Structure 1
């Protein structure tokens, strides 16, 4: 093969809770994303137990979850579960700013935004459906028709331009009511409610949407049980139970789609940051295998192979985790294996067996051991294009399933010039180098890659910080971190560059 396949799905990616806004319009219910603040702006200041002071400034920028506890209001750091209260219920608090409530108002501007995607030449658009637009609390028997109509309109607009939707069923939001009622996915009852929701939208849109994903970055539960699964607690048992329930839910939905609409393609989606051993020491190499298995491969192995791997069963036993396994679960996982694997890739990591004196780099959701051979973004994410080729090879060798890169990109401060232009050569450089490595993985290594949809193709609300100033897009949206601005869309320099990349099927990288 000389280059990218002719049917390669170039495009871009967003999530409903980070772009739509209209959080309480047309019957939409509150979601777990609707109680998350913007980092550094909240009136609450949260201390992290045992935190090294040199990391304080980084954590001060992370978003909070607001809650009510015995009549008092408080807040926890979204991705630091040791700051969650033992009791308390997530809630909206007066005079707090919640950026997802308005986001970039895609709900009222979807036609303009999709037109811009079409001008870019998108073959695909990875997006998500907000569960709470369809079932506001998750427990209704009848879906909200206004919510269903909105996504009908979005998919019809995509079809008008020949853009293939790639739809995530659950992308870091779920009904807030289920979180408050029984800690979301920690309770097995959520599986059936999710199945009802998924069945409703798949039945409705199966002729408009071919490619589906069940959960976004399902393994990110290790960073935040509330963000990914509605678990507002710092409890390993609850988190492992929630994660297991999500994979059961994924399997049930996958089997339903396969049985009902055989032409549909159902995928899982994993945050993929493979670790390099810090050294050639045997201990570091074993640590790399261990961390990669428990943080990443467990989820892929279960959803792609159809069973819980032995190393994870041993981990459960070692930690005293006693999951609620039921008789039909084994069959459910076996019958619900996915057709393809979607990944987000932003960086690699480093595994060290004895990290006493090693340096960290703070990267929003996680701390990583510092890799001295790599550069860092403005948010501390280490930049490793070759690591993407490495990741693709690892993943394809393990599963031999098609891979869809549905997130990759550079968050950076962009400046809107007086003439309405944005110069972002740093973003072009980042994406160019990663695309080169994808091409090598396809043409040199024989990896089957379906498509590439860079994250935040239009500026949106950051998941980890709630900021819009952490911009990823090819399209600049004129809002600041407090939601001030005209909301007008502007094409960045990278817009015109990426348009040439797509029109040339990856051959013209503008070098």
Structure 2
């Protein structure tokens, strides 16, 4: 599972970072600078179906034979649901002053908008938020980090249906109402530009939909479904942004944004085609979401290449997208080479839709030193 680190591993990385760069001192940063750690709900909470929590897509997917290499699952995970006090104390002992975590959608709404609010779930996050604030740690709350109630998957296909926009808006409303008096930093979706590729192009994340040559799934369409789901994610994000800015931001005095996956591309060869390919890869990976949430429409390059695949925004939707995010978070993992293959692409990867071949090596040499699989979230 290529998801955000657990509390423990994030803190270990934080210590390694501080100890390995002796020339950096905290006094060099302004008092307002936030040093933090991050997690995702499915990866750390455990208590998978306890206290009336509903099943999420990950609860179901990880129990399907062959979906997870080592057969593990998040039923217990780091047991954060019961050990959250110890985890917060560990963060406090290291002196971090911010913590980005995600709320489990199915812990708040076990059946989406088709069921009742789970008061046990609301109570858990209230306790966590209050404890963080008492320790001087600012909560950064992500509404959805690759997870969605399985009920919505079963009812209408989750992100494949525009119905999901209503559900996400309803869920966001509950979170703003219940927690917004103390949470001043909201993230709508984590790595929404990567989610459709893993879930609906490569089939490695739930619901595991794909087609050849991208993957060998029982159902799906890798050529069209990633763009349908991305469209619904963008509009779900816009609905939450619109509600927060119109009804909550002024009285709660918070900010709201989105976090995207940000890989950098260098040209494989010093030729015009590869320089253009590197820019195109970045556009198809990042601007795919950035352009709609900032400018209200998809990038011209994507529209030129995929005019038949990209759904169109209505005038009303474009108007809703004019309510801008307050910040953009970037999860940066790595840099890779991009080689143009516009007329000869045979490699089916998540970058392949940009008509590029990507690699981490050139002439037998790696682009950089191998490191831990981790993301540094940079907020703009």
TM-score of Structure 1 vs Structure 2, range by shorter chain: 0.7 to 0.9
Match of 2:306, SS? helix
Which residue is equivalent to 1:188? 162
The match for 1:28 is: 53
Find the aligned partners of 2:293 and 2:207 in 1 and give their Cα distance.
21
The answer to whether structure 1 residue 106 and structure 2 residue 103 are counterparts is no
Higher relative contact order, structure no. (Cα contacts within 8 Å, ≥ 6 residues apart): 1
1:349 aligned to which of 319, 322, 336: 336
Counterparts of 1:227 and 1:370, CA distance in 2: 21
**1:101-132 residue CA offsets vs partner (Å, 9 max, x unmatched):** 11010000000110110111111000000000
How far apart are the structure 2 equivalents of 1:144 and 1:164? 25
Q: What residue in structure 1 maps to residue 198 of structure 2?
A: 223
- 1:19 is aligned, of 41, 44, 51, to 44
2:316 and 2:205 mapped to 1: Cα distance?
25
8 Å CA contact 1:178, 1:230 repeated in 2: no
Which residue in 2 is equivalent to 1:81? none
Distance 1:18 1:302, change over 3 A: same
Normalising by the residue count of structure 1, what TM-score does the alignment of the two structures yield? 0.59
Q: Which residue of 2 aligns with 1:332?
A: 320
Match of 1:147 among 121, 140, 143: 121
Which residue does the alignment assign to 2:295? 305
Q: Give the TM-score of the pair, scaled to structure 2.
A: 0.78
CA drift of 1:303 comes to: 1.4
Is 1:270 aligned to residue 260 of structure 2?
yes
The DSSP-based 3-state class of the residue aligned with 1:236 is coil
User: What is the CA distance between 1:22 and its match in structure 2?
Assistant: 0.2
- Mean Cα displacement is larger for which, 190-199 or 98-107? 98-107
Aligned CA distance change for structure 1 residues 228 and 209 (closer, same or farther; 3 Å): farther
8 Å Cα contact 1:231/1:239 also seen in 2: no
Shift of 1:236: 2.8
Q: RMSD over aligned Cα, in angstroms?
A: 2.9
Partner of 2:275: 285
CA distance in 2, matches of 1:245, 1:408: 26
Unaligned runs of 5+ in 1: 38-64, 67-73, 79-95, 362-366, 382-405, 410-448, 452-511
Cα pair 1:124 1:165 within 8 Å, conserved:
yes
Asked if structure 1 preserves the Cα contact closer than 8 Å seen for 2:67 and 2:204, the reply is no
After superposition, residues 116-127 of structure 1 pair within 5 angstroms as 116-127=90-101
Task: Tell me which of 364, 375, 380 is aligned to 1:407.
Answer: 375
Matches within 5 A, 1:78-93: none
Q: Residues 97 and 285 from structure 1, CA distance in 2 versus in 1: closer, same or farther, beyond 3 angstroms?
A: closer
Report deviation, 1:252: 1.1
Tell me the distance in 2 between the aligned counterparts of 1:227 and 1:155: 32
CA distance in 2, matches of 1:294, 1:127: 27
- Say yes or no: does 1:374 pair with 2:368: yes
In the TM superposition, what whole-angstrom CA distance separates every residue of 1:273-317 from its partner, at most 9, and x where no partner exists? Answer: 110111210010111111111111121121133332322222331
